[in-house]
A and B are shown apart, each in its own frame.
Chain A
Amino acid sequence: MKRPALAALACALALSACSVKTVAVRATAAVVSDGTPALREEPDPLFARDALPGQLKLLEGLLRDAPKDPRLLSALSEGFVGYAFMFLEDEQPDRARDMYRRALGYALRLAALNGDLAAIAVARPDALDAALARARLQDVPGLYWAAYAWAGWANLAKGDPEALAGMSRAQSVMRRVLALDPGFQFGGPDIFFGIYYCALPKMAGGDPDKGKAHFEAALARSKGKFLMAKVLYARYYAVAALDEALFRRLNEEVLAASGEDLPQARLTNEVAKLKAKKLLEKTNELF
């Protein structure tokens, strides 16, 4: 007699404890993922580089209790792509590769919150296109970060067939994002295609002229204030086209510009300046 009652009580307690925890996690998740803008606005790249791992680890912890929370998944996708791209790719490509892969996992989970997009990582090309056709504006963050993470991973693991196959998927996904929301992340979809067409060899569909048009389109969207677009324009288009004058001009413009012109992207702009400086130092190797 007593046992079932006790068991029921224990159960109820556990449930309420659980729901209290859930509520707490959700609240914390909201607070922590709302902290993302603070990181984006950080003027000191070194401070951001040191702060990001702790922040991401905290978000990963929270995600365990709220595995489908879109804010957490979005902050994690963006955070891992950003960390890999801004702080690891140039000096520690192997770690960057792993972080991109981790970002891809979160971005795919985010995209899969819309059931239509649950199979985009495995669908054959026709099925992938059909699924993407059903994507809507609210699916953009998951798709956008998945495409960047895929491309980042493929770019750093060129001997890995699994990673390489992601490049074509990334391209299909980003094409949909470009149609849904071309202004996302200050023209991020156009920056993606700028890199894509300039970095791929011609025989794989590379076409520097197309890439250039995308970089120009991206720059027009931010009126030249999103400095990373210029750095990537220099690094991918100017290098592919062996245009040293353009390479110097773009990087020098970045160094001369104020990082404060776009407060929402202060951190990226400050990192762009660091990258521009390093690229200019490598001019003789590249041309």
Chain B
Amino acid sequence: MNSFKLAVLSAVLLAAPARAELIKFATLAPEGTDAAKIMQAIDAELRAKTSGQLGFKFYLGGRQGDEKDMVRKIRLGQLQAGGFTGVGLGEIAPEVRVMDAPWLFRNSDEVDHVLKTFDADFRKDFENKGFVLLGWTEIGFIYVFTNTPVKAPIDMQKLKIWMWEGDPIAESAFKALDVHPIPLSITDVNTSLQTKLIDSVYSAPLYAIALQWTDKTKYIYNVPMANASGAVLVSKKAFDALPKDQQKLLLDVGAKHLSKLNALTREENRKALESLKAHGMIMTDTTPEQLRSYEALGRKARRELVGRLYSAELLDRVEKSLAEYRAKSGAAKAPKAAAK
């Protein structure tokens, strides 16, 4: 009898949440990047405010595999959170990749406008797929780096341009341009630039430097193809298991720090472009007419992705909201090149 009681008692005690469980967080961003530092700052603040009851355990630099592996491990419960780029977001909630749609945004203010306007939609998209949004962490505007100058869309057809295999955004953009890219894994890009299998790549400026692609290219085309988004997501299952006060704290602290990260990334990309130019990289100019041609190209490319990533309804609403924003903010009638 007594030993039975004891067994029940110890079972109850063992089941009680006596010790804090850490949220296992993975990202491709390596140690020492701003993304890693900001997540560590979130962790420090959470631990301080919960006496160590809530915090993260970090797997940086792709130590848990690529983003598809990370998503799979979160679904299996081996991880509870991740910092994702479009690749991972596409695995989870393809609709939100409307943020990555080709030639959609002209500058970062427009990006912020859409994120704010569609915040509830995007959060619901993530939640339906079992994830909670902690904050957006964009990669930045995506430029084309080439070895011959590109001044007009037609010049792109002469390039041996890389395409990240399975990247629907680039695929639709290249299709609209009538460009035939060479699909390769991102890990093969450096060697393929060296062997001249490809002569052009696309990336946000800071990443192009970090990936050492800018040593192997000479020109930057002044018209970004898209703005690459990213986000920090937490498994809804893990989130729901937290006490209410910790849920709120996690959302608040996360949002506060991650909005700083976005501002930092934008500043770094701006500095990266300046530094590349200072070191002899040539940024090609485009005429206003050529820039305008991207309006039609963009519409065509974005339609390509309807049904594959997002619905026509969502795309229409986003484009309409942007048009209204441009009209209201008195944006220049002709589209402007380069994101500021």
Nearest neighbor of B30 in chain A, beta-carbon distance: A201
Partner-binding segment picked from A18-26, A27-35, A67-75, A156-164: A156-164
Is B28 part of the contact surface with A, judged by Cβ < 8 Å?
Answer: yes
In the complex, residue of chain B having the shortest beta-carbon distance to the beta carbon of A156: B32
Minimal Cβ-Cβ distance residue in A for B191: A205
Q: Is the CB of A203 within 8 A of B206?
A: no
Interface string of A141-176 (1 = CB under 8 A from B): 000000000000001101111101101100000000
B209 located at the interface, meaning its Cβ lies under 8 Å from any Cβ of chain A in the complex: yes
The binding surface of chain B is classed by DSSP as helix
Q: CA A164 – CA B204 in complex, angstroms? A: 14
The answer for the CA separation of A203 and B206 in the assembled complex, in Å, is: 14
Q: Which of A122, A200, A204 has the most chain B CB atoms inside 10 A of its CB?
A: A204
- Given A158-B30, A165-B209, verify A201-B62 contact (CB < 8 Å): yes
Cross-chain contact A204 with B211 (CB below 8 angstroms): yes
Given the known interface contacts A124-B280, A155-B32, A159-B33, the answer about A204 and B212 at a Cβ–Cβ threshold of 8 Å is: yes
- Report yes or no: B30 in contact with A199, Cβ–Cβ below 8 A: yes
**A167, B209: Cα distance in complex, Å:** 9
Contact of A164 among B62, B186, B210 (CB under 8 A): B210
By a CB distance below 8 angstroms, the chain A residues around B280 are: 124
Closest to A122 in B: B279
Q: Does B152 contact A (CB under 8 A)?
A: no
Question: Which of the residues A124, A161, A162 comes within 8 Å of B205, measured between beta carbons?
Answer: A161
* Contact A158 B61, CB 8 Å, known A202-B187, A203-B189: no
Which B residues are CB-close (under 8 A) to A205?
190, 211-212
Q: Given that A164-B206, A164-B209, A242-B63 are known contacts, is A159 also in contact with B275, CB under 8 Å in the complex?
A: no
A285 at the interface (CB under 8 A from B): yes
B268 adjacent to A240 (CB under 8 Å)? no
Q: Are A161 and B215 in contact, with the CB atoms below 8 A? A: no
Instruction: Tell me whether A61 is interfacial, beta carbon within 8 Å.
Output: no
List A contacts of B146 (CB < 8 A).
none
Contact A161 B190 (CB under 8 A): no
Decide yes or no whether A53 CB sits under 8 A from chain B: no
Bitwise, A119-151 to B at CB < 8 A (1) or not (0) is 000101100000000000000000000000000
Q: B32, A161: Cβ atoms under 8 Å?
A: no
Q: For the complex of A and B, list the 5 residue pairs with the smallest distance between their C-beta atoms, beginning with the closest.
A: A161-B272, A161-B275, A203-B186, A168-B212, A158-B33
Can you list 18 A-B contacts (CB < 8 A)?
Answer: A125-B215, A125-B216, A155-B32, A158-B210, A159-B33, A159-B264, A159-B268, A160-B268, A161-B209, A161-B276, A164-B209, A167-B210, A167-B212, A168-B215, A202-B187, A203-B28, A204-B212, A240-B61
